[in-house]
Amino acid sequence: MKQRDVLFLSISVFALIAFWIGFNIAHNLDESRISAPIKETIIPISPDFDTKTIEAIKNRQNVEPLYETGVSSASSSQNIPAITQETSQPSTGSAGVNP
């Protein structure tokens, strides 16, 4: 190889590497930006809490629903209506199924 060929090759490789580094830096700067909707969702929470409301929540009464009052199984089984067995009647064929 002649000296000119080596010089051309080395300048070309240097230029290619310089452009590659430049495009990577530009790409990283562009990709690392946070869009406006995401900025709104990552706003830090204020550390100032309303202590009066927290104490009111701690001091409120526990209310149990009526359907969870601990009814015994013996008394609840008396309230269940008996299941009666109906006599089966022949099918009228209204479903469109032919036997």
Residues 6+ apart with CB under 8 A from 34: 42
The tokens for 91 are: 């099918």
- Greatest alpha-carbon pair distance for the chain in Å reads 108
Tokens of 26: 């530009």
- Residue 95 carries which side chain, given as an amino acid letter? A
Burial class (CB in 10 A: 0-12, 13-18, 19+), 33: exposed
| Confidence category of residue 18, pLDDT binned at 50, 70, 90 | very high
Tell me the per-residue pLDDT of 41-90, one tens digit each, with 9 for 90 and over: 777 777 787 888 888 888 888 887 777 555 555 555 555 555 555 555 55
Handedness of CA 19, 23, 24, 25 (dihedral sign): positive
pTM exceeds 0.75, yes or no:
no
Question: At 34, phi and psi to the nearest 5?
Answer: -100, 130
